[in-house]
Structure 1
Amino acid sequence: MRETENSVVAKEANRGNAERGGVDKGTVELRPDLLSGVSLPAAVIHEAPLAHNLAWMQRFAEAHGARLAPHGKTTMTPALFRRQLEAGAWGITLATAPQCRAAFAHGARRLLMANQLVGQANMAIVAGLLEAGADFYCVVDGVENVRQLGRFFEERGLRLVVLIELGVPGGRCGCRDQAGVEALAEAIAAEPALVLAGLEGYEGVVHGDDPAAAVSAYAQRLVEAALALESAGHFEVDEPIVTASGSAWYDLIAEAFQDASLQNRFVPVLRPGCYVVHDHGLYREAQRDVLVRRPDLQHGLEPALEVFAQVQSLPEPGLAIIALGKRDIGFDQLPVPLRRYREGGAANATLSVAGWQVTKLMDQHTFVRLPEDADDVAIGDIIAFGASHPCLTFDKWRQLLLVDETLEVRDSLSTCF
């Protein structure tokens, strides 16, 4: 059984090669010019803002005495994992055991699974990773899960490193109070196969009339809980971890960790994921709030992800149907028309999309209401669309195109969803 699991880990990097070789969802015809040589729609990452974002967030973490473990579930794109690690990331965060297996197979050695590890099949995947040399962490929030993990990994002759998750009432996972945290620490200590190495939280489930104040209060609770565990001698490692931070409130988490001087006693780890390509919706709005709170942070993140698609039909005055749908782009907010090009045109020869409004999104079609003066729209025109929440666009593609400022395709980036 173990040989089979390890072979799965070793071969994960080659998973999907046969799938990607044919004409299937997400496969694009790769040629140099996005405006003339690529089958659209296509998901596109712009190199300049991508490079900016990678460097910007790494500098931010380091300036606050923290390490960066970007959430890989956003992209599940090994080429982006490599660039994040090369930029200085401490590790890669993932959400599931199969995601961890895929990241490890593509070179990520330190894996932080910011989720509970449940189910023997998932435990077996993680056991295979540990046997293959992965530096792996997961979170726990209940005594029964601790007992299950303890039994499984003791039988395998392995030790599993865990972090206690601190949650909030009415939120998602996590211990609801300090008493629960302390009781769970005692339960972990009773399991020889488990090693308590820190505390984990997620502020994205914190809400209230003043969400910024609520997030700051939660961050303070996280700090206090970590210090209490340390004072009680519950950690079994020399450098325990304290980690939180999604892509909206990372500044408040980093400030709380820095103000408590945690870097002198812990390894503070930030886990934003969407920053790598940013967006034109939810996280753009969140970034504006960050820059209001922190005007000293220059410039901020830039949107790097767009989906290019063509005008398919002009069936009646004032209406354009675009060959783009829910299978191609995230839709928790409607896509935003950004720029328009003639097919075969030049990257600097843009046409107006002023007044264009997306009104409806179907599986393969987008309805756009055109202004009265939009009299130059032609079948085949190429529209660049922005989206909200990049996770929900990445997972629709088996590969994305990396382009330069002239829209020349520089690389094809495969995903491993």
Structure 2
Amino acid sequence: MSSAIHNAAVEKGAAQAGDHLLRDISLPALVLHRQALEHNIGWMQKFVTDSGAELAPHGKTSMTPALFRRQLEAGAWGLTLATAVQTRAAYAHGVRRVLMANQMVGTPNMALIADLLTDPAFEFHCMVDHPDNVAELGAFFASRGAKLNVMIEYGVVGGRCGCRTEAEVLALAEAIRAQPALALTGIEGYEGVIHGDHAISGIRAFAASLVGLAVQLQDNGAFAIDKPIITASGSAWYDLIAESFEARNAHGRFLSVLRPGSYVAHDHGIYKEAQCCVLERRSDLHEGLRPALEVWAHVQSLPEPGFAVIALGKRDVAYDAGLPVPLKRYQPGSDSISGQDLAGCKVTAVMDQHAFMTVATGVELRVGDIISFGTSHPCLTFDKWRVACLVDEQLRVVESMETCF
């Protein structure tokens, strides 16, 4: 066997079109269900469009070019990314409009983006929140004879990045104006760091302040484009941001851009709970997102009654926001795709390559059985895989999707 063939054979999650999950795939494997995936992409695109906004899904969630392509083909305005390296990877796979939702620091990162900007078809915007960064970006891109689009990041006290006061935002706009190599193209915020009993009112107040700042900056002539970008929204509170932007964007002065990312795969944990809250707030939304992502693994050992060890661990699935959720049991090699419900079973701990699972009364497991698991926080499940298996309703692989983390 040649080394190339051998590597393909042993690649974690490797699959070919037509392979069947119960017979042909080396487990554990990252699984995406096509029907749910297509529903989610269409659902969010329609929601954002109906809200009078544009969608720039956060690509860091999946870093899967095949998903980028589907999101853009469905109508996404562009992609959001977190780093210069992620931006380069997306560009290599055909993405030509990017919001980088972070400050760009470090000259190697600046050089990487400057190289991409030699392509006149590439549109790029990054965030700034400090005058030192503004000065460094201005000097670097001036030395390269390039113009960099920047957006002011506005944050909250105790949150993540961003100017903490409206006065800081206005002062930073003046610092940008003094840099000929920089163009101020919008303002950005992230509401996902607002928590507590009064999160909803806090998020609405934050969105109102964000729009108010955009109005002040536009009235001051601070923006370099006629229709500046105003953007926020993660995957939990996008409905509140959409409502605030739609209500306050008087006369369409701004291009409103929403940036949820985890919706594409959704989950069985934190985003499932967040989606339930969205549907409670929005009675006009009759159906929400569907969990499309699972990780499938074998029963490894049954060392004690009522206790199973699964060949699934921290190297395979997220565990930062809740442990994997047992969904169904399947018999390997079987033609039955219905599976046995495992609602009474529970993962109690995960190690590097093992999960501990209590087995509910009435569930009979055998070593080698296949179990599907739901996850919480898809971002930190995707990043553990080089390949995802897109499967149809018959559990046959229709596409092997490579990631580019």
What TM-score range do you get, normalising by the shorter chain?
Answer: over 0.9
Give 1:102-113 correspondences, 5 Å limit.
Answer: 102-113=89-100
Q: Structure 2: which amino acid aligns with 1:98?
A: V
Task: Supply the distance in 2 between the matched residues of 1:377 and 1:89 (Cα, whole angstroms).
Answer: 44
Matched residue SS, 1:223: helix
Give 1:234-253 correspondences, 5 Å limit.
Answer: 234-253=222-241
> What CA deviation, in whole Å up to 9, does each residue of 1:347-405 have, x standing for no partner?
5341231311111101101111112332x211111100000000000000000000000
State the partner residue of 1:373: 362
State the partner residue of 1:287: 275
Task: Supply the distance in 1 between the matched residues of 2:383 and 2:56 (Cα, whole angstroms).
Answer: 20
The reply to whether residue 81 of structure 1 matches residue 68 of structure 2 is yes
State the partner residue of 1:183: 171
Which moved further from structure 2: 338-347 or 238-247?
338-347
Superposition RMSD on alpha carbons, in Å? 1.5
- Is contact 2:13–2:30 with CA below 8 Å preserved after alignment? no
> What CA deviation, in whole Å up to 9, does each residue of 1:280-304 have, x standing for no partner?
0000000000000001112010000
Q: 1:153 to 1:32 in 2, by over 3 A?
A: same
Q: TM-score, normalised by structure 2?
A: 0.96
Q: 1:29 to 1:261 in 2, by over 3 A?
A: closer
State the partner residue of 1:402: 390
State the partner residue of 1:225: 213
Which moved further from structure 2: 297-306 or 262-271?
262-271
State the partner residue of 1:10: none
State the partner residue of 2:265: 277
Task: Supply the distance in 1 between the matched residues of 2:372 and 2:347 (Cα, whole angstroms).
Answer: 13
The reply to whether residue 98 of structure 1 matches residue 85 of structure 2 is yes
Q: What displacement does 1:113 show?
A: 0.2
> What CA deviation, in whole Å up to 9, does each residue of 1:279-337 have, x standing for no partner?
00000000000000001112010000000001111111111111100100111211000
- Is contact 1:208–1:214 with CA below 8 Å preserved after alignment? no
State the partner residue of 2:350: 361
The reply to whether residue 196 of structure 1 matches residue 184 of structure 2 is yes
Matched residue SS, 2:341: coil
Q: What displacement does 1:224 show?
A: 0.6
The reply to whether residue 43 of structure 1 matches residue 30 of structure 2 is yes
The reply to whether residue 26 of structure 1 matches residue 26 of structure 2 is no
Task: Supply the distance in 2 between the matched residues of 1:20 and 1:334 (Cα, whole angstroms).
Answer: 33
Q: TM-score, normalised by structure 1?
A: 0.93
Task: Supply the distance in 2 between the matched residues of 1:20 and 1:390 (Cα, whole angstroms).
Answer: 30
Task: Supply the distance in 2 between the matched residues of 1:268 and 1:347 (Cα, whole angstroms).
Answer: 47
Q: What displacement does 1:19 show?
A: 12
Q: What displacement does 1:23 show?
A: 5.9
- Is contact 2:347–2:357 with CA below 8 Å preserved after alignment? yes
Q: What displacement does 1:342 show?
A: 0.4
Q: 1:264 to 1:40 in 2, by over 3 A?
A: same
Aligned residues: 399
- Is contact 2:13–2:27 with CA below 8 Å preserved after alignment? no
Q: What displacement does 1:220 show?
A: 0.8
Q: What displacement does 1:238 show?
A: 1.5
Indicate the percent of aligned positions where both proteins have the same amino acid.
58
Task: Supply the distance in 1 between the matched residues of 2:404 and 2:45 (Cα, whole angstroms).
Answer: 24
Give 1:298-337 correspondences, 5 Å limit.
Answer: 298-332=286-320, 333-337=322-326
State the partner residue of 1:143: 131
Matched residue SS, 2:263: helix
- Is contact 2:337–2:395 with CA below 8 Å preserved after alignment? no
Q: What displacement does 1:114 show?
A: 0.5
Task: Supply the distance in 1 between the matched residues of 2:10 and 2:51 (Cα, whole angstroms).
Answer: 44
> What CA deviation, in whole Å up to 9, does each residue of 1:211-233 have, x standing for no partner?
11111111111111111111111
Matched residue SS, 2:309: strand
State the partner residue of 1:124: 111
Give 1:248-263 correspondences, 5 Å limit.
Answer: 248-262=236-250
Q: Structure 2: which amino acid aligns with 1:112?
A: L
Task: Supply the distance in 1 between the matched residues of 2:306 and 2:328 (Cα, whole angstroms).
Answer: 18
The reply to whether residue 348 of structure 1 matches residue 308 of structure 2 is no
Task: Supply the distance in 1 between the matched residues of 2:95 and 2:336 (Cα, whole angstroms).
Answer: 36
Structure 1: stretches of 5+ with no match in the other structure: 1-17
Task: Supply the distance in 1 between the matched residues of 2:26 and 2:371 (Cα, whole angstroms).
Answer: 13
State the partner residue of 1:4: none
Task: Supply the distance in 1 between the matched residues of 2:266 and 2:97 (Cα, whole angstroms).
Answer: 24
Runs of 4+ in 1 over 6 A off after TM superposition: none
State the partner residue of 1:390: 378
- Is contact 1:257–1:263 with CA below 8 Å preserved after alignment? no
State the partner residue of 1:68: 55
Q: Structure 1: which amino acid aligns with 2:110?
A: M
> What CA deviation, in whole Å up to 9, does each residue of 1:258-279 have, x standing for no partner?
0013571111000000000100
Task: Supply the distance in 2 between the matched residues of 1:143 and 1:349 (Cα, whole angstroms).
Answer: 58
Task: Supply the distance in 1 between the matched residues of 2:291 and 2:191 (Cα, whole angstroms).
Answer: 23
Task: Supply the distance in 2 between the matched residues of 1:110 and 1:233 (Cα, whole angstroms).
Answer: 25
Give 1:208-219 correspondences, 5 Å limit.
Answer: 208-219=196-207
Task: Supply the distance in 1 between the matched residues of 2:161 and 2:351 (Cα, whole angstroms).
Answer: 33
- Is contact 1:25–1:397 with CA below 8 Å preserved after alignment? no
State the partner residue of 2:152: 164
State the partner residue of 2:40: 53
